[in-house]
Amino acid sequence: MRKRILPLLALLSTACFGAPRYQSPTTPVPASLARVETRDGDVASAAPVQAGTSDSLPRVRGGGSVTVIDRGGPTSFLRELRDSTLSLLLSEARRSSNDVRVAEARLVGARASRRLASLDLLPTITAIGSTTRQQQSVAAVPGLTRQLPQQQYWDMGFDASWELDIYGRVARNVRAQQAFVASAEYGLEDVSMSVMAEVARSYFELMGAQQQLAVAQRSAETQRRIVKLTEERLAAGRGTAFDTERAKAALYLTLAVSPALEAQIAGSRERIAVLLGKTSDALPASLSAAPKLPQLPDTLYVGSPEQLIRRRPDVQAAERQLAAETMLLGAARADYLPRLTLSARAGYLATSFDSLSRTGTSRLLIGPVLSFPLFDLARVNQRTELVHARVDQARAEHNAAVTRALNEGQASLVAYDRAHARLAILAEAEASSARAADLAQQRFEAGLTDLLQVLDAQRTLLEAENQLVMGHTAAATALVAVYKAVGGGGGLGPVR
């Protein structure tokens, strides 16, 4: 038996120590990320890179309205927007959001698991105290037994055991728990960033709806003046009832826009309140105003793919998860090998409580214990297979996170670039519509044109103003998407 077991132990030891050390994985960038077309058809290309390299992301340049810089020091885009209300909301979201609290609790649990695993490196010492009553039988003569008097034993002392981590099983488990802690920390950062991005998006949507409502109210006031003018012209015999009714219809259609916008404003306020973990009546009073949407930057810093990946907390969390599972796989493989434990028992054993600690009642047992799962290898094998499957899953999730990060970064930059370009066009359209509406109003009051042209010019102006506000809102929310896609920590704004 000894000749068979020793070679088996040697083989298992070789298999355990032959396992490769964990190395951070690299993921090739998809070929689609190496090419992006701008508005004028210019092509910016970059060679395929791997996570961990420093090649540049494709730049949105040429005919684009936004310049993407891959060098220089980043600055926070929140500071560049200079919106005190938004900054207050984001700080409150990071502190009070229920989603953030869940992630914080998960982190606390991971840290407790790490401390618990670290204690396995130390001896285990327990105090014991027991009392037992027993009665034994002895053979008096062949075939006959007699019972001895009952005796009661008192036992008090300490038990200690310490596993000598020869093959690193405990140490691997401790490192795995530390990696889980790091993953939970990145997870908390990812949740915080997602909540803050959602707060910013809802805030910009709220501001956009408030501005649309203000546009509708201004337009309604202008149309009320037109209705009053047509009524005065009708009373003076210089107008028609048709013009008056048509002006009233245009006014009512504009007024009908307000309830839907008011409902949208209320919905945005409720979403912000939920994200902040409070009720809507506890929101800052400044949210009730209709401030202008912020001036958006036309130069963004995003860095290289390596920097983007290092800033993305979801990618870093996935990488630490993979590292933890890999270390647990090493710990599971160590279960194939013998465990050597030093055990000790010290204390007193006596037949009465009063005689404890007297001379002759002390006891001391010290010795090594060698254990090996000789008849339990099937369970060890299945546990190892289970951990190996989790490693494969973690590796696939990490690769997916890297690819998703690169694609989201590229898509968000293009979306923001196009939204920024569209915003400039809408601004020109709104300015022209305002001039046309003013001219139509002047010509109508002078009697040089009919009311139809005035109403048409007003309708065009209202649509242009609405489109401008919606375009500004879309560009602002696209900027938030860039913030989230590049990992939040990479600043957005003018490069110093």
pLDDT tens-digit map of 310-320: 788 999 999 99
Cβ contact 76:196 at 8 Å:
no
Average pLDDT over residues 228-256: 87
pLDDT tens profile 270-295: 999 999 888 888 888 888 776 778 88
**151-164 and 339-350 beta bridge pairing:** antiparallel
Q: Does the pLDDT at position 113 exceed 80?
A: yes
Packing angle of the helix pair 2-17, 313-333 (nearest 10 deg):
170
d(CA 17, CA 468): 65
Cβ contact 335:169 at 8 Å:
yes
Among 101-105, 154-158, 175-179, where is mean pLDDT lowest?
154-158
Average pLDDT over residues 234-243: 84
Q: Residue 92: pLDDT band by 50, 70, 90 thresholds?
A: confident
pLDDT of residue 158: 85
pLDDT tens profile 378-393: 999 999 999 999 999 9
Q: Does the pLDDT at position 326 exceed 70?
A: yes
Q: Does the pLDDT at position 221 exceed 70?
A: yes
Q: Does the pLDDT at position 36 exceed 80?
A: no
User: Cβ–Cβ contacts within 10 Å for residue 126, how many?
Assistant: 9
CA angle 456/458/461 to nearest 5° reads 110
pLDDT of residue 67: 58
pLDDT of residue 13: 52
SS3 of the chain: the string is: CHHHHHHHHHHHHHHHHCCCCCCCCCCECCHHHHEEECCCCCEEECCCCEECECCCCCCCCCCCCCEEECCCCCCCHHHHHCCHHHHHHHHHHHHHCHHHHHHHHHHHHHHHHHHHHHHHHCCEEEEEEEEEEECCEEEEECCEEEECCCEEEEEEEEEEEEEECCCCHHHHHHHHHHHHHHHHHHHHHHHHHHHHHHHHHHHHHHHHHHHHHHHHHHHHHHHHHHHHHHHHHHHCCCCCHHHHHHHHHHHHHHHCHHHHHHHHHHHHHHHHHHHHCCCHHHCCHHHHCCCCCCCCCCEEECCCHHHHHHHCHHHHHHHHHHHHHHHHHHHHHHHHCCEEEEEEEEEEEECCHHHCCCCCCEEEEEEEEEECCCCCHHHHHHHHHHHHHHHHHHHHHHHHHHHHHHHHHHHHHHHHHHHHHHHHHHHHHHHHHHHHHHHHHHHHHCCCCCHHHHHHHHHHHHHHHHHHHHHHHHHHHHHHHHHHHCCCCCCCCCCC
Q: Does the pLDDT at position 492 exceed 70?
A: no
Q: Token digits for 431?
A: 């300015």
Task: Identify which has the larger pLDDT, 419 or 55.
Answer: 419
pLDDT of residue 182: 94
Cβ contact 292:172 at 8 Å:
no
pLDDT tens profile 72-89: 334 455 556 778 888 888
Q: Does the pLDDT at position 22 exceed 90?
A: no
User: What are phi and psi for residue 449, nearest 5 degrees?
Assistant: -150, 165
All structural domains of the chain: 31-101+188-335+378-485 (1.20.1600.10)
